[in-house]
Amino acid sequence: MRNPRAIAMLVVSLLLGLLAAVLAANWLQQRAVAGNKVVVAAVDIQLGSRLNAQMLTTADWPAGSVPPGAFTDVKKLDGRVVKTTVLRGEPLVESKLAPVGTAGGLSAVIADGYRAITVRVNDVIGVAGFALPGNYVDIIVNTQDSSNLQHDRQISKIVLQHILVLAVAQETSRDETKPRVVNAVTLEVTPEQAEKIDLARNIGTLSLVLRNQMDTTKVRVPGVMKPELLNTAAESPPPPPARSVYVERHVVYRPRAPRAREPAQASRDGVDVVKNGISTLQCF
């Protein structure tokens, strides 16, 4: 016969263990989230947008994992402008916001010391629509090299590297799954780079080269010309044929002075011979 007391003790032990596990789990959960309310985006927010209460909400955040610069009060973000795209559920931090008092729009997302310039593109120049806001591109200009005064030579050269795309057409939204073919791209550049782009688009044709987001290296390239592209740079034209030169020579005849005639010997007979104006005495 089984011992009722032992069975009762076993049941009580199981109940106490289950209760302890439940209490410990609740205590850990309350400790992890208690007092850690963080303001997050309630919807996808595009860069340059002005925040309001409908765009934001609060969410529990694990203790010790709160992002630096996070907010706990939605009212503190009313009227602030985001300078980058914020996805739904992503916490709002100070580094993603423009300074207090900044007006909304594209001007709010331009970094200090930089400018925004727009260049005209097409489906080829704009990398088939894959140059989206937030991407980085290099800029190539195709023009004529007039350094050779005898004749112009066509050249393609990278003039700017690692340039941020701020907007395509009139939109700053970024959807990496849907390329968009547009007719204009707005770039973030320094004042010196803006001058180069303005000159380049007036003397030639611009093209954009999409680059890796994590690649920040800049290379020095001399550019390529048509002879190098067609592998004819080492070939030199044949030398022109030699020209025959006619030289007219003038010969001046100068007669010799007559030589003094030697006196003939008295004992020998002779004949006076005149040849070419010169008189000689032939003796016998």
Query: What would the pLDDT profile of 232-262 be if each residue is shown by its tens digit?
Result: 655 555 556 656 555 555 555 566 666 655 5
Q: 115-120 and 153-168: which strand pairing?
A: unpaired
- Residue ending a domain, among 79, 109, 139, is 109
pTM over 0.85: no
Per DSSP, 164 falls in state E
- Residue ending a domain, among 83, 109, 135, is 109
What is the per-residue pLDDT for 1?
Answer: 47
- Taking only the tens place, the pLDDT of each residue in 147-198 is 665 555 788 889 999 999 888 876 655 555 566 667 788 899 999 999 999 9
One domain for residues 212 and 128: yes
Range list of β-strands (E), 50-169: 56-60, 115-120, 136-145, 153-168
Q: Within a domain: residue 244?
A: no
Q: Tell me the C-alpha distance between 192 and 34, whole Å.
A: 52
Q: Within a domain: residue 131?
A: yes
% of the chain with per-residue pLDDT over 90: 9
- Residue ending a domain, among 89, 109, 129, is 109
Nearest to 114 by CA among 125, 103, 106: 106
Per DSSP, 238 falls in state P
One domain for residues 101 and 80: yes
Q: Tell me the C-alpha distance between 274 and 277, whole Å.
A: 6
One domain for residues 184 and 164: yes
8 A C-beta contact, residue 34 and residue 48: no
Q: Is 74 left (phi over 0), alpha (psi -120 to 50) or beta?
A: alpha
267-277 average pLDDT score: 63
Q: Please give the residue range of the domain that contains residue 221.
A: 111-229
One domain for residues 103 and 148: no
Number of domains in the chain: 2
